[in-house]
Amino acid sequence: MPGPSVQPAATGYRGRFAPSPTGPLHLGSLLAAFGGWLLARHAGGEWLVRIEDIDPPREVPGAAAAQLAALAAFGLAGDRPPAWQSRRHALYRAALDRLLAAGHAFACSCSRSALAAQGGIHRRCVAGVPRPHPAIRLRVADGATVAFEDGLQGTVGQDVAAEVGDFVLLRADGCWAYQLAVVVDDADQGITDVVRGADLLDSTPRQILLQRALGLPVPRYLHLPLLLDEDGHKLSKSSAAPPLDPADPLPALRACWSLLGQDPAHVRGCGDVDALLRQARARFDPALLPARLHFRRGDTTTA
């Protein structure tokens, strides 16, 4: 795979927001996007948008266009035209070929049911008959552990061999796995800082293993707290979280500003999106970001 085609911003900071087009954006999506945008602006860097459309069976027709329109309505269009993973297959293939040639990846015909006896963790192939179209997995060495310092969650470590095992890079159905695509894209786009929701915290050690195997730079990571519903479940498109209202963006932006630990008074008097974003950019204090959110009906508090 070629090196990054886009150099990092002059300030040394380039972030991104990368939704999958599986439904409309919701308040949890906005929390991640707004938090990432604020951190990029605070650092004097760039903030990009990437559409992660490499899983057609899960995608909703028209969702990507609706997501981009919603981001524009909330004043959070990226600093460059959006990137589309569906147009970047050649980069993923080049990276996979490098891993295969180096012996870091291998073909695997194991099904999920075949791996059930191993707790779903692949440590050796158990398939009796090779598939015509096997998956490709990263070879994770015995005892492979990864530790990193998250910008908000502190020190995070994982025994990838024991907890995850050899993980998929190319699915048997021909779809690229998220872990490979995101690592290749972050390097190719010169992303220096990955800001996203804490639901992806346990994906980070796998991505760092891939970055090492490919000889790519490891960006800084910061995982924002998840926005949960009254039952403690993550707000998500799959759980039918209420979509954002692009026609009335101010209430949701104010809510996210408060959820990010910032003083509500700083943006209370702003009458339009541009004014709110200017004030938020000037007043944002990353030291106030909460590591967790606690939800109560009718109220959200931080810790």
Residues belonging to the active site? 237
Task: For residue 64, list its beta bridge partners.
Answer: none
Task: Say how many C-beta atoms besides its own lie within 10 A of residue 71's C-beta.
Answer: 23
- Residue corresponding to tokens 């095992």: 165
Query: By C-alpha distance, which of 38, 15, 53, 26 is closest to 276?
Result: 38
Q: Is 13 annotated as a binding residue?
A: no
Q: Is 92 annotated as a binding residue?
A: no
CA dihedral 33→34→35→40, nearest 10 degrees, is 90
Distance CA 53, CA 143 (A): 33
Q: Is 16 annotated as a binding residue?
A: yes
Q: Is 19 annotated as a binding residue?
A: yes
Secondary structure of residue 79 in the 3-state scheme = coil
Q: Is 20 annotated as a binding residue?
A: yes
Q: Is 18 annotated as a binding residue?
A: yes
The one-letter amino acid code at 83 reads: A
With contact defined as beta carbons under 8 Å apart, do 217 and 160 qualify? Answer: no
Distance CA 89, CA 95 (A): 10
The count of residues in the chain is: 303
With contact defined as beta carbons under 8 Å apart, do 46 and 80 qualify? Answer: yes
Q: Is 196 annotated as a binding residue?
A: yes
Instruction: Please report, in range form, the residues annotated as the binding site for ATP.
Output: 237
Instruction: Please report, in range form, the residues annotated as the binding site for L-glutamate.
Output: 16-20, 52, 178, 196
Instruction: Please report, in range form, the residues annotated as the binding site.
Output: 16-20, 52, 178, 196, 237
